[in-house]
Amino acid sequence: MATPTRAIFSSSPRIFFNHTPYTLATLSHFNIGLLKKNRHYNRCCCYRFNRSVAELRSPDLVAFEYAELNLKEKVSEAGHVRIRQHVNPLSASLTIPVQVPNWNEVYGDSTLPLMVDIGSGSGRFLIWLAKRFPESNYLGLEIRNKLVSRAQFWVKELAFNNVHFMFANAMVSFEQLVSSYPGPLVLVSILCPDPHFKKRHHKRRVLQKPLVDSILKNLHPGGRVFLQSDVVEVALDMRNRFDSQSDMLEHITDIDPSVLCDNEGWLLSNPMGIRTEREIHAESEGAKVYRRMYQRRI
Ligand SMILES: C[S@@+](CC[C@H](N)C(=O)[O-])C[C@H]1O[C@@H](n2cnc3c(N)ncnc32)[C@H](O)[C@@H]1O
């Protein structure tokens, strides 16, 4: 694996990863402290709009939170996207593994650290990160093709060469995609996955044992896993799968005592600096979002 050389937050006072080949320079944009500051900044900026924001509908809240990407008019250029509510990831057409792309054609520099968002939805979240933290690459895996097409349309419009979306079932294609990527895998997120409430549909939930094993196998030492759901049962299901890997993973609150969680061990805030769309919708309806972040032991 090549070692990325340039720093993202080289001025950060907090060095978590200085004893790994991929120092803070490569992983630091996932530095909780900085992201908390970032979030604080967002909150301050939003403060004076708070009253009017409180009156916005949920889709408007998404547009507001992602305003700096200026994607709104690009939606209409791409055409209105009608999205099916749920897709069955176990349907025959979705169980065919995708072809691994030539990573050198996908990214400007395919040796940069990689973040993978499983079930990337509209893609706004990853596009925002790609803009804010350009010295990493971002890969969104999504089984609703129309969302992938629109996200790729936005990426092209913005001329970003560090973010890419694939129509891919993570249950089927995650392993071959990440194991073929030339750089280190530094962050995997599964954010508000489809809950598939019925017991007989639990097997459709994206996070099953083979995916956990593949994440652990490919995650670089010091790399992180971020999970969240507004459905406590789903959050607990994901949490149990990673809590049981304590020989390989530590929860972030055990590494950095300044990161706070409630007395049940859920993070008090989103450490990424921006909320996902599902998270915005859920919080606008007063729901709690249950979050965990793990780091692979070095
Ligand atoms: C509830 S949405 C959440 C989207 C986004 N993460 C957010 O928080 O706004 C879950 C997404 O995961 C996608 N998805 C479900 N199963 C998947 C799978 N096996 N592989 C890839 N994407 C999947 C769905 O199509 C959907 O867009």
- Please, which residues bridge with residue 227 across strands? 190, 292
Residue 68 main-chain phi, psi, to 5 deg: -65, -20
Question: How many whole angstroms from 160 Cα to the centroid of ligand 1?
Answer: 22
Question: How many whole angstroms from 151 Cα to the centroid of ligand 1?
Answer: 14
Where do the domains of the chain lie, and which CATH numbers do they carry? Answer: 24-296 (3.40.50.150)
**Active-site annotation holds for 194:** yes
**For residue range 184-207, what is the model confidence (pLDDT) as tens digits?**
999 999 999 999 999 999 999 999
**For residue range 214-259, what is the model confidence (pLDDT) as tens digits?**
999 999 999 999 999 999 999 999 999 999 999 999 999 999 999 9
Q: Which of 194, 237, 243, 262 is catalytic?
A: 194
Residue whose CA lies nearest to ligand 1 atom number 23: 119
Question: How many whole angstroms from 80 Cα to the centroid of ligand 1?
Answer: 19
Whether 94 contacts 172, CB under 8 Å: yes
State if residue 62 touches ligand 1 by the CB under 6 angstroms criterion. Answer: no
Q: With 70 as the cut, is the pLDDT of residue 76 above it?
A: no
Residue whose CA lies nearest to ligand 1 atom number 16: 206
pLDDT band at 81 (very low <50, low <70, confident <90, very high): low
Could you tell me the two tokens for 275?
A: 């909320």
Strands 219-229, 290-296: parallel, antiparallel or unpaired by DSSP? antiparallel
**For residue range 134-162, what is the model confidence (pLDDT) as tens digits?**
999 999 999 999 999 999 999 999 999 99
Which residue has better confidence, 80 or 266? 266
State if residue 142 touches ligand 1 by the CB under 6 angstroms criterion. Answer: yes
Which of 242, 249, 247 has the alpha carbon at shortest distance from 207?
242
